Amino acid sequence: MFLEHRIEEFLRGRIADMLETMSEEGFKRHIRSLVLNKLQKDKNLSEETSRYWTHILSGHYDFTQAEDEAEEMERVTLEEVKRFFAKSILPDSPRSKKMSIHVRSQKLVDEKLQLAEGTVTVEDLEWCRAGLELSGVPSPAKDLSHFASF
């Protein structure tokens, strides 16, 4: 609980302040740095192979993901980031969501864990996963025939 509280205070304080005081030029520098990092060439064959196998094993086959993400990043504006942060990330926002996992020692079974109001304890993990948007079965991002010329 202490750590969760500190994370929420960090979001309310440092991150919110940073976004409010950030200049448009500073934002563009951050974006450019992220884009350059995203488009960094593989250093060796092992990195390239690992990247491709990650896409293959995930079932998404999105081999141009880095380039697509870089394009999207360059389209984002500072105002859009501020609005998204305020509506979806700030802990006080009605749309804000979080998942907090507490692991208890088996040696301390008798101690009761103090949970925040509104906390839901998950007893059936498969049921919980089925309700999450991002945990469904992967579908290819692009038809494999798109990559036939490679």
Structural domains of the chain ordered from first start: 2-147 (3.30.830.10)
pLDDT tens digits, residue range 41-95?
Answer: 999 999 999 999 998 888 888 888 999 999 999 999 999 999 999 999 999 898 8
Q: Report the percentage of the chain scoring pLDDT > 90.
A: 50
Asked if residue 107 lies in contact with residue 24, where contact means CB atoms within 8 angstroms, the answer is no
Closest CA to 74 of 39, 23, 22: 39
Tens-digit pLDDT profile for residues 17-28: 999 999 999 999
140 contact partners, CB below 8 Å, separation of at least 6: 59, 60, 61, 62
| Residues in Cβ contact with 58 at an 8 Å cutoff, skipping those fewer than 6 apart | 138
Please state, in angstroms and rounded to a whole number, the distance separating the CA atoms of residues 146 and 5.
Answer: 47
The residues, any chain, with a CB within 8 Å of residue 39's CB and separated by 6 or more, are 66, 67, 70
pLDDT for 137 = 61
